A = this chain, B = another copy of it.
Amino acid sequence: MLKLSKLTDYAVVALVRLGQKDEVTTSPVLSRSTGIPEPTVAKVLKILATQGIVISQRGARGGYRLAYPLEEISIAAVIQAIDGPISLTTCVDGGECDARSTCGLGGQWDMVNAAIRNALSAITLADMKNHTVLDRLGGLGNPAPSMLVGPEATA
């Protein structure tokens, strides 16, 4: 469905919430303030900690805090942290593709990947919080001439 995992969704919510106070916050507290079930938010935070996006403080009175200001954390970074690398297709770089020899459109996918990566890298968590995405980008990048073909395919 080309949708990012629910975990990533939660991660963004949690991170934005974290960025609102500049102090360590525990998983239970974050769970209550975000509405995300506690075990889940804990898992997400753990992953983000290993990826260096949040800094953890163990022990009593411990918790998590952002490793960078919201302005410096891009959506792409969060997605990569949770879901792994952003490569749309299997046939990139060292990827294996059954049809490699006959396919014809060799590494064209890399271009598509780059396009998406760029789109996601241009949006920061601060933008998510402040609703300023359009401003910063000056209008969502390239015009995009409608969806083309668009067999309304909304099914």
Residues of A with Cβ closer than 8 Å to B? Answer: 1-4, 6, 9-10, 12-13, 16-17, 33-37, 51-53, 67-68, 72-77, 79-81, 83-91, 97-105, 108-109, 111-112, 114-124, 128-129, 131, 133-134, 137-138, 140-151, 153-155
The answer to whether B53 and A99 have CB atoms under 8 Å apart is no
Residue in contact with A9 in the complex, picked from B90, B140, B146, CB distance below 8 Å: B90
Nearest B-chain residue to A79, judged by Cβ: B2
User: In the complex the two chains form, is A149's CB within 8 Å of B87's CB?
Assistant: no
Q: Are B114 and A13 in contact (CB under 8 A)?
A: no
Q: Which residues on B sit within 8 Å (CB–CB) of A123?
A: 111-112, 115
B149 contacts A122, C-beta separation under 8 Å: no
Partner of A145, one of B3, B12, B122: B122
Instruction: Report chain B residues within 8 Å CB of A75.
Output: 112
